[in-house]
């Protein structure tokens, strides 16, 4: 990202954070490496990976999309149903999610335990997927009781995917057994 693009991105994030009532120090802390979560830059190139379980079109960064298709195919071959709940999410959409929760009366501190602030969601990178399988409610901890989750623990790393938010993760985000991020080389 060029210096001009980075400045533009940070300016946009600052405005979104201000609108949501997030601490002004959040971005400065991130630049200094003092944040629990790293700043995530929005993907510049995205490709379709089909619809999610709700029938909404989803996109991922090209390499993540290829890995997603491969892991889905391998799961299918082994009799495991791996379904997409969500993939790429823009910083604007992330802000909308938080704004909706605030409007519903949720406390910002509670929201940030389950939803990253705009600029801090791995979904912005186009490398993160939220997944589910048949017979379980989406985005629920009960996903970790499924054969699909056990399969992901055993095989996801072979395709470059890691579980970002295990129990007691260093980011302070609630346990999310459904959230996997494509990070080849870190597995």
| Contact yes or no for 49/123 (Cβ under 8 A) | no
Total Cβ atoms within 10 A of residue 149: 21
Q: How far apart are CA 9 and CA 41, in angstroms?
A: 8
Give the model confidence (pLDDT) of 55-88 as tens digits. Answer: 999 999 999 999 999 999 999 999 999 999 999 9
Say if 6 falls within a structural domain. Answer: no
| Contact yes or no for 124/43 (Cβ under 8 A) | yes
Say if 10 falls within a structural domain. Answer: no
Total Cβ atoms within 10 A of residue 57: 10
Among residues 74, 186, 177, 64, the alpha carbon closest in space to that of 124 is found at: 64
pLDDT for the residue numbered 32: 41
Q: Domain range holding 167?
A: 42-182
Structure tokens at 173: 């985000």
Residue 76 sits in a domain whose CATH number is 3.30.1380.10
Say if 59 falls within a structural domain. Answer: yes
pLDDT for the residue numbered 78: 97
**Residue holding tokens 């029938």?**
55
Say if 128 falls within a structural domain. Answer: yes
When mean pLDDT is compared across 6-15, 116-125, 172-181, the lowest value belongs to 6-15
| Structural domains of the chain, count | 1
SS3 state at 148: helix
């Amino acid at each position: 990202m060029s210096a001009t693009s980075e400045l533009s991105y940070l300016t946009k994030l600052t405005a979104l954070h201000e609108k949501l009532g997030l601490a002004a120090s959040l971005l400065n802390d991130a630049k200094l490496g003092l944040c629990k979560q790293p700043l995530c830059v929005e993907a510049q190139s995205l490709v379709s990976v089909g619809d999610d379980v709700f029938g909404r079109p989803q996109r991922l960064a090209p390499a993540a999309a290829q890995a997603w298709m491969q892991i889905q195919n391998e799961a299918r071959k082994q009799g495991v149903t791996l379904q997409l709940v969500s993939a790429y999410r823009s910083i604007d959409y992330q802000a909308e999610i938080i704004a909706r929760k605030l409007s519903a009366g949720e406390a910002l501190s509670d929201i940030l335990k389950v939803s990253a602030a705009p600029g801090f969601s791995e979904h912005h990178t186009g490398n993160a997927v939220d997944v589910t399988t048949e017979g379980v409610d989406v985005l629920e901890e009960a996903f970790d009781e499924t054969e699909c989750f056990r399969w992901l623990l055993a095989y996801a790393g072979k395709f470059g995917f890691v579980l970002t938010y295990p129990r007691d993760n260093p980011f302070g985000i609630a346990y999310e057994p459904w959230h996997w991020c494509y990070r080849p080389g870190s597995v």
